[in-house]
Amino acid sequence: MTVTDNCDAPSTCDVLVVGAGLAGLMCARTLQRAGLHVQVWEAADHVGGRIRTDEVDGFLMDRGFQVLNPAYPAVQQHVDVGALGLQTFGSGAGVRRDDRFAVLADPRREPGHLADVLRSGYLDPAQLAALARWAGPALGPPGRLKHGPDTSWGAGLDAAGLSGPLRAVVESFVAGVVLEDEGSTSQDFVRLQLRMFALGAPGLPREGMQALPEQLAAGLVHPVRTRVRVHAIEQGRSGATVRADGLTGTARLVVVATGARVAQDLVGVPAPAMKGVVTDWFTMPVAPDAPPMLVVEGRGATSGPVKNAAVVTAAAPSYAPPGRHLVQASALIRDGAGGIPSVEQVRRHTGELYGVDTGDWELVHRHEVPEALPAQAPPLRTRRPMQAGDSVVVCGDHMDTASIQGALVSGHRAAAGHLHRTC
Ligand X SMILES: Cc1cc2nc3c(=O)[nH]c(=O)nc-3n(C[C@H](O)[C@H](O)[C@H](O)COP(=O)(O)OP(=O)(O)OC[C@H]3O[C@@H](n4cnc5c(N)ncnc54)[C@H](O)[C@@H]3O)c2cc1C
CB of 107 to ligand X, least distance (A): 24
Q: Is 251 helix (H, G, I), strand (E, B) or coil?
A: strand
For every residue of 71-125, DSSP letters joined together read TSHHHHHH--HHHHT-EEPPSEEEEE-SS-EEEEE-TTT-GGGHHHHHTSS---H
Nearer to ligand X, 121 or 389 (CB): 389
CB of 75 to ligand X, least distance (A): 9
Nearer to ligand X, 162 or 262 (CB): 262
**CA–CA separation, 152 and 361 (whole Å):** 38
CB of 130 to ligand X, least distance (A): 26
**CA–CA separation, 309 and 296 (whole Å):** 7
Nearer to ligand X, 92 or 165 (CB): 92
CB of 317 to ligand X, least distance (A): 20
Cα 58 to Cα 48, 95, 326, distances in angstroms: 21, 30, 11
**Site for ligand X, rule CB under 6 A:** 18-24, 41-44, 49-51, 64, 66-67, 229-230, 257-259, 262, 277, 369, 372-373, 396-397, 402-407
Relative to beta strand 38-41, strand 15-18 is parallel
CB of 165 to ligand X, least distance (A): 25
Nearer to ligand X, 18 or 220 (CB): 18
Nearer to ligand X, 70 or 154 (CB): 70
For every residue of 301-363, DSSP letters joined together read GGG-SEEEEEEHHHH-GGGSSTT---EEEEEEE-SSTT-S--HHHHHHHHHHHHT---TT-EE
CB of 238 to ligand X, least distance (A): 23
Nearer to ligand X, 91 or 405 (CB): 405
12: phi then psi, degrees, rounded to nearest 5: -125, 145
CB of 405 to ligand X, least distance (A): 6
**How far is CA 310 from its chain centroid?**
16
Nearer to ligand X, 211 or 372 (CB): 372
Nearer to ligand X, 44 or 301 (CB): 44
CB 257 within 8 A of CB 233: no
CB of 111 to ligand X, least distance (A): 26
List Cβ neighbours of 83 (8 Å cut-off, separation of 6 or more): 215
Relative to beta strand 101-105, strand 92-96 is antiparallel
CB 79 within 8 A of CB 215: yes
